[in-house]
Amino acid sequence: IRHVNQPFVAIDEEVAKLLELKAQLGDDGKTQFVLKTPKGTRDYNPKQMAIREKVFNTIIRCFKRHGAETIDTPVFELKETLTGKYGEDSKLIYDLKDQGGELLSLRYDLTVPFARYLAMNKITNIKRYHIAKVYRRDNPAMTRGRYREFYQCDFDIAGQYDAMIPDAECLKIVHEILNELDLGDFRIKVNDRRILDGMFAVCGVPDDKFRTICSTVDKLDKMSWEDVKKEMVNEKGLSEEAADQIGEYVSMQGGMDLAERLLQDHKMSQSKQACAGLSDIKLLFKYLQLFHVTDKVVFDLSLARGLDYYTGVIYEAVLTQAGTVSAANEAQNDTNAEESVSVGSVAGGGRYDGLVGMFDPKGRRVPCVGVSIGIERIFSIMEQKAEASPQKVRTTEVQIMVASAQKNLLEERLQLISELWNAGIKAELMYKKNPKLLSQLQYCEEAGIPLVAILGEQELKDGVVKLRVVATREEVDISRADLISEIKRRTEA
């Protein structure tokens, strides 16, 4: 027995470890459940929701001003609907578990479901906006502030119209929204897929490499030209000479003058496609001048937008003001973490004339152009601005608190508040029979409620209500008959 003592010590140690583990697991032996939101998602508290609501209202007001209708589509689509529409980003699509029914995926954006909706319902023209959540299997641990579930906010014009008129309106909408939200200075970069494809052709990029080289060029806002060139040559197998020629073009920026110059360019002018794109850019700038937005728009040959479905004009809005850079990068959504060197994109879009035809059995094309507002990044900037501002964000819209100055007035308070609610006034009262007047007034200050209607024995006798302005503490007696119009006059300015 003395010789077998050694194993017993080992057993004791193992038992101690197991007991420790059991203690960690809790009494019933179940793992302690950690309460958290899933990776890449977040909750929004009332303050954040108040900011979000304000942003949504501004955007929706703009969409409606331009005559848009709204639709909704399912949060999941048939897997096949989404397959082959997103190029290299397809790997980020969330597939739902096969449960013996249809193979489904969560929507990756709102554009492909829109195209499916048009084809399925044989709609040939519509101007619609759609605000809803989309899902991407991004790696949020690696890319800070990049969510797996986030809102997209889209406006699209579908239909056969004269060149560049709807496209110009989309850019005007971006300009209006960014101005109204007051996020700081911004630029809207514009290019055309046909100009890019023409440029690739004249620079000697093989046809089958167009799309993959395009998604590399798309990284220019987050990588240096040296790194982009390295990826083209080493990873994508492009000749050094072709890459250098692309490098010359993608460094060009300008306006209508640049489009005119490129139409005369001995190489670019060899591409019919590029010439068609350049003529459209010229026309676009002509319309943008009439809309008075050219001060913010720049024709930029490095803009590529990686999605496969774009066929014509493409654009992206970026913030340029230093003050908002850190906010934009803090919780950006649609770009990588390396972007801390540049300012975040807050809107993007373009023309996609072939997407609806992909779904139509007869291949009928419905030309479309649209824009997506980068709502998550805008939220994060607005949140940061609210944090820095001394002004408190109100999370309710209550106009008046119904309070009592003495005991035993609950029934009178309930009667009065019911009258106010029935008249459409936003009102609150404390859920206590006999609340202290001081605690009722303090609650108003904390919640930002501007007015208090105070009831007391004397007021009831005289048929009046004491109306108190919380900010100035001034009090005035108002007759019951005039109370509702007085509240509206003071709060609905």
Question: What domains can be seen in the chain, in order of their start residue?
Answer: 46-321+343-388 (3.30.930.10), 400-490 (3.40.50.800)
Task: Return the axis-axis angle of helices 272-290 and 193-202, rounded to nearest 10°.
Answer: 150
SS3 state of residue 50: helix
What integer pLDDT is reported at residue 145 of this predicted model? 57
89 in a labelled binding site: no
Measured CA to CA, the distance from residue 157 to residue 277 in angstroms comes to 19
CA–CA gap between residue 387 and residue 479 (Å, rounded):
41
Q: CB–CB of 427/443 below 8 Å?
A: no
pTM above 0.75, yes or no: yes
How many whole angstroms separate alpha carbon 485 and alpha carbon 89?
A: 57
- State yes or no: 156 annotated in a binding site: yes
Q: Average pLDDT of 41-67?
A: 95
Query: Count of CB atoms within 10 A of residue 458's CB?
Result: 12
Least Cα distance to 485 among 429, 398, 420 occurs for 420
**Does residue 152 have a known ligand-binding role?**
yes
The Cα–Cα gap between 394 and 48 comes to 10
pLDDT of 52 above 70: yes
Does 462 have pLDDT greater than 60? yes
HSE (CB half, 13 Å, CA atoms) of 334? Answer: 28
DSSP code for 343: P
Strand partners, 106: 76
Q: What is residue 470's DSSP assignment? A: T
Residue-level pLDDT at 321: 65
Contacts with 409 (C-beta within 8 Å, 6 or more apart), sequence order: 455, 456, 460
Q: What is the mean pLDDT of the chain?
A: 87
End-to-end CA distance of the chain: 93
pLDDT at 332: 42
Closest CA to 448 of 396, 491, 390: 396
pLDDT, residue 339, reads: 34
309 in a known ligand binding site: yes
Q: What is the pLDDT of residue 255?
A: 86
pLDDT at 257: 87
416: helix, strand or coil: helix
Residue-wise pLDDT for 384-423, tens only, equals 888 888 888 999 999 999 999 999 999 999 999 999 999 9
Contact 273, 198 (CB under 8 A): yes
Q: What is the pLDDT of residue 278?
A: 94
181 among annotated binding-site residues: no
Least confident of 26-35, 95-104, 144-153: 26-35
Q: Is 109 annotated as a binding residue?
A: yes
**How is residue 97 written in tokens?**
């578990």
- For residues 214-235, average pLDDT: 85
- The response to whether 394 counts as a known ligand-binding position is no
Residue spans of beta strands (DSSP E) within 320-463: 345-351, 368-373, 400-404, 427-428, 451-455
- Is 197 part of any known ligand binding site? no
HSE-CB at 409 with a 13 A cutoff on CA atoms is 23
pLDDT band at 212 (very low <50, low <70, confident <90, very high): confident
338 vs 134: which has the higher pLDDT: 134
Residue with more model confidence, 11 or 176: 176
Separation CA 342–CA 326 (nearest Å)? 10
Instruction: Give CA separation, 25 vs 14, 30, 31, 95, 256, in Å.
Output: 16, 6, 5, 33, 68
Let me know: does 177 contact 155? Beta carbons within 8 Å.
no
310 annotated as ligand-binding: yes
- Please give the Cα distance from 60 to 56 (Å, whole number): 6
